[in-house]
Amino acid sequence: MTKIKNSMKRRTDALSRDQIVEEAIDLLDQSGEAGLTFQALSKRLATGPGAIYWHIADKNDLLTAACDAIVARTMNETLAGGTPKENVRQLALGIFDAIDAHPWVGSALASIPGELPVVRILERIGQQMRALRVRDDALWPVTSAFLSYILGVGRQNGANAQLAREKGLDRSTVLSEVSTGWYQLDADEYPFARSIGAQFRAHDDRIDFLTGIDLILGGIDTM
């Protein structure tokens, strides 16, 4: 009986953890968290699962490593060099844009609150809060509020972007449809939603996000 040969050509070079993580990021960008399996990753890397397990313990470890790579890259691209407020805004926008480009990062960060990727962001924010002379007894709640806002809004924006990609929706069309729907609501019960429809249709997510950051920074000045 003729043996059927494996059609996948195995790699002959050594596989590194960084290579695995970068390939996992590409896979996550294309297929989302549900598509991240060791079988799919093995196929892309032209290797067996055992070679991956040598570097990565399990899927959670791989997701954390991929998330950390994105966060660390963002931290390096948003080095602190301005005033504390400028640094916070730059960091916040960098994280927002990173989640927008890699929507899975938002949910991944939410599932690993005490792991290194989140701690990297927390540390950078905390340093800037100290530079802003936030009182010691307020450092944690203020830093936590910033972190929650950045990750919460970033995650929601990423989820919206992911949904739009999966369903092939155009952002301007979606906003227009929602705005039209608001305008058709009862005028007495929903006066604000009806009046704000035109602004909603043309709003910029990044500008809205930074408005929230400025509101929090403004609040610090009053403490």
159-180: buried (b, 16+ CB within 10 Å) or exposed (e) per residue?
A: ebbbeeeeeeeeeeeeeeeebe
Q: What is the pLDDT of residue 3?
A: 39
Q: Cα separation of 2 and 142, whole Å?
A: 69
Give the pLDDT confidence score for residue 170 in this predicted structure: 83
Q: What is the pLDDT along the chain (223 residues), one digit of tens a residue?
A: 443 334 445 544 578 999 999 999 999 999 888 899 999 999 999 988 888 889 999 999 999 999 999 999 999 988 778 899 999 999 999 999 999 999 999 989 998 888 999 999 999 999 999 999 999 999 999 999 999 999 999 999 888 877 777 778 888 888 888 899 999 999 999 999 999 988 998 899 999 999 999 999 999 877 7
Domains detected in the chain: 79-221 (1.10.357.10)
pLDDT score of 7: 40
